[in-house]
């Protein structure tokens, strides 16, 4: 499927741009990238404890202006580093004047910590969230999941990268330490004074791409290999990434951690909610070379460059990408088949799953613990050209096929979010193995979720 086909969204569904809004807020590649140091936990017996206050903060995102954001501890794009087998406990204190609910996207999380709307934290309240971290290493992310408010909360800044490591992965000779870099990608629309412009349906005129909260930054790198952990925290923007010289890079991981084998590629899709991990070897470019990372999925009036790598020094490089990374577990033979049709209802403007909008008081499906299921995700919006995705909470899945054809090598790993282009379908296999209770599954295009595209499952023994 070409990016152009995925991009086809008819104008009738799109809110027009408003006047008085800055189109491109900063000239590209004039701001340095920030690589946030991981937040420091209190390391208590057996677990890591954090206090995350959700609060408004004035931060400098665009040169010469300040922007009021909704933040964790006053920061944009913070990072948490966790180790497998060491639980993380977060005390979340809500100093916003809107409700907040914390969800660890991709986490195998007990129900009471999963961010279900019934557990949301009201203004002035607080709550403990516990993440067992018993799953394999992966790049996860924390974001708001409050009822009918999370699209705006995430847009205004409530997204953190959560890197989970484990021994298996640490033993591999992949780039580590300062050469292992989280890159949170998203878009935004700014007024000239730096204020964020918010419009739930305005996905196609958020022309400023932010990387770790910096507008189209440059990043000074050494002439060696880097591991880049790409996280798409945008409400609705896909990225289709290429290096400016069209050269190969190595795709090593996705939502649920490392792929079975590295996949050399020249182009990589990153849809909202997804993570992709790549290794780029800057040693093939000499010191002094500048290399742009392009997004080729463009809305009207946009240019491709989203960040630039400036090769500024030599460095020793003991790292390499091994031929085998990490096998994907066998999930067994599916005993249950389900079908989910994702569709837009032009009569009401709602987005539906199997003809119905989300209802917190309705259980839509009842999976059994340990029983593998096959889900067919049908995008019923061929005529409207709207892409949808499926993100079940709680466990990762495998993509079995797309339109009946086996997935590409880069989709052979564990996933937790799959995007299905308009009019197409995908089949996935999922097995819930650790926790029981009420969980959600939904499209990760955030205006769609807010307009109803979510269901509820009760997992039981
Ligand atoms: Cu990132 Cu319920 O989702
Ligand atoms: Cu959708």
- pLDDT tens track for 83-113: 999 999 999 999 999 999 999 999 999 999 9
**Which residue reads 């008819």 in tokens?**
10
* Closest ligand 1 atom number to CA of residue 417: 1
* Closest ligand 1 atom number to CA of residue 449: 2
Same structural domain, 207 and 144: no
Residues with CB under 5 A from ligand 2 (ion): 388, 443, 445, 448, 453
Same structural domain, 391 and 282: no
Protein residue with its CA nearest to atom 1 in ligand 1: 105
pTM strictly above 0.90: yes
Same structural domain, 134 and 74: yes
**Number of separate domains in the chain:** 3
Same structural domain, 88 and 133: yes
- Find the 28 Cα to ligand 1 centroid distance in Å: 31
Within-domain flag for 123: yes
Protein residue with its CA nearest to atom 3 in ligand 1: 105
CATH number at residue 194: 2.60.40.420
- pLDDT tens track for 295-342: 999 999 999 999 999 999 999 999 999 999 999 999 999 999 999 999
Same structural domain, 203 and 254: yes
Give Cα separations from 334 to 331, 372, 404 (angstroms).
8, 5, 17
Within-domain flag for 223: yes
The domain in which residue 50 lies consists of 31-168
Q: Which ligand is nearest to the CA of 233?
A: 1
Same structural domain, 76 and 140: yes
Query: Which residues surround ligand 1 with Cβ inside 6 Å?
Result: 103, 105, 143, 145, 273, 391, 393, 440, 442, 444
Same structural domain, 164 and 230: no
Within-domain flag for 329: no
Same structural domain, 359 and 294: no
Q: How far apart are CA 26 and CA 211, in angstroms?
A: 13
Please give the ipTM for the structure prediction.
0.98
Same structural domain, 369 and 302: no
- pLDDT tens track for 200-257: 999 999 999 999 999 999 999 999 999 999 999 999 999 999 999 999 999 999 999 9
Same structural domain, 343 and 426: yes
Within-domain flag for 128: yes
- pLDDT tens track for 244-271: 999 999 999 999 999 999 999 999 999 9
Within-domain flag for 251: yes
Same structural domain, 384 and 268: no
Mean pLDDT of 22-38: 81
**Which residue reads 């021994």 in tokens?**
167
Torsion angle in degrees (nearest 10) through CA of 321, 324, 329, 332: 140
Within-domain flag for 322: no
Same structural domain, 402 and 448: yes
């Amino acid at each position: 499927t070409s990016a152009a086909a995925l991009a086809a969204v008819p104008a009738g569904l799109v809110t027009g741009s408003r006047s008085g809004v800055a189109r491109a807020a900063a000239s590209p590649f004039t701001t340095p990238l920030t690589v946030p140091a991981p937040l420091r936990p209190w390391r208590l017996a057996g677990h890591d404890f954090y206090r995350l206050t959700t609060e408004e903060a004035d931060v400098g995102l665009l040169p010469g202006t300040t922007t009021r954001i909704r933040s964790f501890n006053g920061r944009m794009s913070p990072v948490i580093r966790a180790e497998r087998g060491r639980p993380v406990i977060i005390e979340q204190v809500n100093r916003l004047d809107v409700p907040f609910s914390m969800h660890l996207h991709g986490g195998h999380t007990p129900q009471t910590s999963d961010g279900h709307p019934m557990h949301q934290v009201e203004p002035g309240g607080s709550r403990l969230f516990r993440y067992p971290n018993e799953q394999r290493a992966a790049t996860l992310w924390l974001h708001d999941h409050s009822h009918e408010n999370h699209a705006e909360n995430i847009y205004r800044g409530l997204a953190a990268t959560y890197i989970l490591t484990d021994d298996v992965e640490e033993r591999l000779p992949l780039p580590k330490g300062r050469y292992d870099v989280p890159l949170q990608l998203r878009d935004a629309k700014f007024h000239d004074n730096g204020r964020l412009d918010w419009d739930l349906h305005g996905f196609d005129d958020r022309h400023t791409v932010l990387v770790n909260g910096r507008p189209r930054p440059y990043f000074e790198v050494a002439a060696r290999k880097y591991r880049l952990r790409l996280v798409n925290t945008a409400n609705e923007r896909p990225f289709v990434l290429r290096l400016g010289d069209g050269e190969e890079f190595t795709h090593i991981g996705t939502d649920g951690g490392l792929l079975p084998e590295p996949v050399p590629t020249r182009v990589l899709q990153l849809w909202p909610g997804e993570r992709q991990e790549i290794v780029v070897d800057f040693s093939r470019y000499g010191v002094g070379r500048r290399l742009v990372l392009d997004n080729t999925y463009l809305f009207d009036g946009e240019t491709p460059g989203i960040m630039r790598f400036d090769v500024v020094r030599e460095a020793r490089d003991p790292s390499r990408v091994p031929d085998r990374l990490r096998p994907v577990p066998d999930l067994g033979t599916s005993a249950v088949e389900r079908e989910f049709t994702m569709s837009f209802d032009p009569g009401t403007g709602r987005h539906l799953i199997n003809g119905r909008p989300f209802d917190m008081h309705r259980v839509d499906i009842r999976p059994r613990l340990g029983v593998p299921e096959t889900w067919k995700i049908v995008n019923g919006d061929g005529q409207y050209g709207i892409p949808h995705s499926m993100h079940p909470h709680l466990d990762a899945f495998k993509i079995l096929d797309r339109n009946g054809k086996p997935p590409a090598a880069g989709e052979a790993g564990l996933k937790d979010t799959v995007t299905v282009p308009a009019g197409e379908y995908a089949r996935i296999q999922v097995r819930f193995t650790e926790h029981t209770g009420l969980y959600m599954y939904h499209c990760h295009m955030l205006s769609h979720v807010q307009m109803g595209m979510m269901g509820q499952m009760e997992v039981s023994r």
